[in-house]
Amino acid sequence: MTDETDATHAPSLPTQYAPGEVEDRLYRRWIAAGYFEADPKSGKSPFSIVIPPPNVTGALHLGHAFGHTIKDALTRRARMQGREALWLPGMDHAGIATQTQVERHLATTEGKSRHDLSREEFVQRVWDWKNEYGGQILGQMRRLGDSVDWSRERFTMDAGLSRAVGTIFKRLFDDGLIYQAERIINWCPRCQTALSDIEVEHRDDEGELVSIRYGDGDSSIVVATTRAETMLGDTGVAVHPGDERYRHLIGQTIELPLTGRRIPVVADEHVDPEFGSGAVKVTPAHDPNDFEIGQRHDLPAMVIMDERAIITTHGPFEGLDRFEARPAVVAALRQQGRIVDETRPYVHAVGHCSRCDTIVEPRLSQQWFVKVESLATAAGDAVRDGRVRLHPPEMATRYFDWVDNMHDWCISRQLWWGHRIPVWYGPNGEVVCVGPDEEPPTGEGWYQDPDVLDTWFSSALWPFSTLGWPDDTEDLRAFYPTSVMVTGYDILFFWVVRMMMFGLYAMADRGPAESVPFRDVVLHGLVRDKHGKKMSKSRGNAVDPLDWMETYGSDALRFTLARGANPGTDVPIGEDWVQGSRNFCNKVWNATRFALMNGAKVDPALTGGESSGPLPAAERLTTADRWILSRLNRVVADVDAAYEEFHFARVCDILYHFAWDELFDWYVELSKTPLQHGGAEAETTRAVLGHVLDVTLRLLHPVIPFVTEELWLGLTHQESITVAPWPHAENGLAAAEAEDTIGELQTVVTEIRRFRSEQGLKPGQRVPARLHFDRPLLSGFEEHIRNLTRLIEPADGFASSAALDVAGVRVELDLSDAVDFAAERKRLEKDLAEAEKRKTSAESQLANSAFTSKAPETVVENVRARLAESEAEISRISNQLAALPQS
């Protein structure tokens, strides 16, 4: 055992918990000991989870911290349950994000663009950038306490995963599930690439809605558009087949303004006759819905912009950027008298590139696609038949809406960084897909497709490619299917569904039950500020979690996030909540320190079993001992049930209220009396206190690992709480009678404290009192009641000046030396007069029919509430006055 470990086991604890002095030391110790490394040969029941790979360009944000806290809690608990727990880390190469970052770096440092380099030179620059600047989030994960197996760290562009990508592409291609076609895709004119749906952020922008008249007289039709420049590429006008206004025009042609072309009027069920004029312009090359209409009616697709969104059609608008062409086209139409109406500002949803914020342009382009119909059907069936369970279950409806109506997936990207599409073209039109273990064709005229694959293509393989697929590895046999996937509900469609499709396809030889990528999918919400607003730099409410961890400790941030993790709902968070969690960690620290200072201990030889070891004989246990053990037993069962439902907020609330309200505020206080007396009763209390703290720390450990490790080492002098056994509920510890008795004791103490406060007594002020017990069980707690309520034994000359009855206990107090009764009566009479004045005012308002009939209901309700409050105040003050002795 090293000196560092010996020092960690020192029984004395500092007066205050200092996370900064503990966290790094403990994490390095865990790593050195290999606690997080999984052994596929152990024979233990496996538990496996893969990290949603963060972008290599990314830094830890609150969303990461939230998801990682949940995953780490599940993994740590499984490890303590004796399972072979693997949490596998890694990063995504993030094609667009990384290429953009490196291009920006290249421009800033060398004044060059990527086109000043060869493709191979640029890709090498990206690798150099990744090695020097990328992956900072991995170090930040250590700061958070992630118990990942760093020996298995993967990267979506490493050799093994690249081989997996090439293998599945080849299989899909050979099975006819990958094809090339010309379709409408999301295009970023700045990044010069197609985008996936998740790479497009839709938000409301102000624009202009322009209504344009096509044709003349009875043959004219009015259409409306927010993108007037696209009318240059119109090849038709569509109306609903049942719209009587346009029935005479269906099959005819009308003149398209500014172009001299005539375009047909077609009838299509897609058109809503109730919306606008009931007619829509059809631009098949620049709108996905128009493309479908064009396909149904054999309308040509005219591309009027290049890849930079510059107008390419011959005429006065050629060479203009799309945003320059828009007002120019409107002006030309206005000059011809073709503008029927203009609405500005017109607010509508516009797609923006998530990487550079450029407005996305729908564009007809030759791309590679995955045919998803059979794959999506399999993904839907796996949830319908229960092989994969979604949490919360109501997410299933959204899941089925997506997989049952999924469009073919565009997988090609016009980038240089990424997995290059393994297709070669020959000089005579040959198309050859080459697997990773095959040699590509060579010779004059052969070349590889220049595009790379969508980042989501490689991340869809993550649950099995990271375990060694396509090889039959020990890791793959032991840890696939993975146990649970934890991720935000916002990428249910974009990532979870794709992992489902590829896992079921690639691992089909294992059979239906074993081919799924995971058994459970836990969908958590998004982190928002304490007002429920989305965090962003522009709003000024974004938070760097590292700042909060530096100030309050990692455990405080983790506990705050986990305590807000209600299934499927967003998580509001504010700094004051993290402060509250810091206070809870300090409370755990101080209570354990008190116990250690008073001799609480756990037998070191017994902590390796299912519990802390045998407790003192039942006859030696006090009612308070039986109560706390019974409550602890119930808490263990409730925490397990909440974990099984993936209800992390409930786990934290159960443990918070038990630890703070019951263990620390009641049992620790109740333990002070026997500890002061010494003897056998004190030894029993020390044993029970040590046991309850041991179990409580182990229950808390998955969520707040650092402070619990430091305390548990001092309490037990054992190896590490990370490999300590998970507690389990025991049949013989339930004690309903003890719980009822302590419940009554709590009521008595609480009411006496409230009475003292109402009488104006200071918290520490000691007051003579007599206690009379109707229930024998409570009479045994007289000393505890006196200690907890600052009531001392009466001396000679005791004169009862106030009394109260609560839960079978009569308390008579001598307040003669504690309260100036004349001054107290004067104060209370003044408060009573003010309360009666408020009551009279409220009654007068409510008696006025003009007020009650004309004022808003919320205002009337507020007056009724004030009346009820004043009546309650009058009753309370009157009771206090009645309790005062007559002078």
The conformation of residue 348, written as its DSSP 8-state character, comes to E
Residue 718 and residue 607 in contact, taking contact as beta carbons nearer than 8 Å: yes
CA distance 623 to 778: 10
What residue type is 171 in one-letter code?
R
What are the b/e assignments for 288-314, b being 16+ CB within 10 Å? ebbbebbeebebebbebbeeebbbebe
CA–CA dist 451, 433 (Å, integer): 14
Distance from C-alpha of 670 to C-alpha of 741, rounded to nearest angstrom: 13
Rounded CA-CA distance 49/517 in Å is 10
Strand locations in 737-884 (E): 767-773, 791-792, 802-806, 809-813
Residue whose tokens read 């504690």: 818
Sign of CA dihedral 66, 67, 73, 79: negative
> How far is 319 from 781, CA to CA, in rounded Å?
91
Residues 6+ positions from 715 with CB-CB distance below 8 Å: 592, 595, 596, 600, 601, 602, 690, 693, 694, 697
CA–CA dist 284, 275 (Å, integer)? 20
Is residue 289 within 8 A of residue 256, CB to CB? The reply is no
Would you state the structure tokens that stand for residue 115, as one six-digit string? Answer: 């086109």
Give the rounded distance of the alpha carbon of 704 from its chain centre: 17
| Beta strand pairing call for 431-433 and 409-410 | unpaired
b vs e for 37-74, b when ≥16 Cβ sit within 10 Å of the residue's Cβ?
A: ebebeeebebbbbbbbbbbbbbebbbbbbbbbbbbbbb
Question: Does a cis peptide bond (omega within 30 degrees of 0) precede residue 345?
Answer: yes
Q: What are residue 475's phi and psi, to 5 degrees?
A: -60, -45
Strand-pairing partners, residue 58, are none
Give the DSSP H/E element, type plus range, for residue 31: helix 23-33
Local structure of 195: helix, strand or coil: strand
Tell me how far apart the alpha carbons of residues 874 and 864 are, in angstroms, rounded to a whole number. Answer: 15
The token pair that represents 489 in the structure block:
């509900």
The answer to whether 41 is a known ligand-binding residue is: no
CB 49 within 8 A of CB 484: yes
DSSP character at residue 615: P
Q: Could you identify the residue written with the tokens 């009279």? A: 840
Distance (Å, rounded) from C-alpha 600 to C-alpha 596?
5
CA angle 556, 560, 564 (to 5 degrees): 165
Secondary structure class of 507 (helix, strand, coil): coil
Among all chains, which residue has been given the structure tokens 């919306």? 275
Do residues 273 and 304 touch, judged by C-beta distance below 8 A? Answer: no
Q: With beta carbons less than 8 A apart as the criterion, state whether 682 and 675 touch.
A: yes
First to last CA, the chain: 73
Strand partners of residue 196: none
Q: Tokens 């650092």 — which residue?
A: 706
SS (H, E, C) 213-253: EECCHHHCEEEEECCHHHHHHCCEEEECCCCHHHHHHCCCE
Contact of 186 with 486, CB cutoff 8 Å: no
CA dist., res. 76 & res. 79, Å (int): 5
For 7-141, strand residue ranges (E) read 46-50, 84-88, 90-91
Annotated binding site for ATP: 537
Annotated binding site: 537
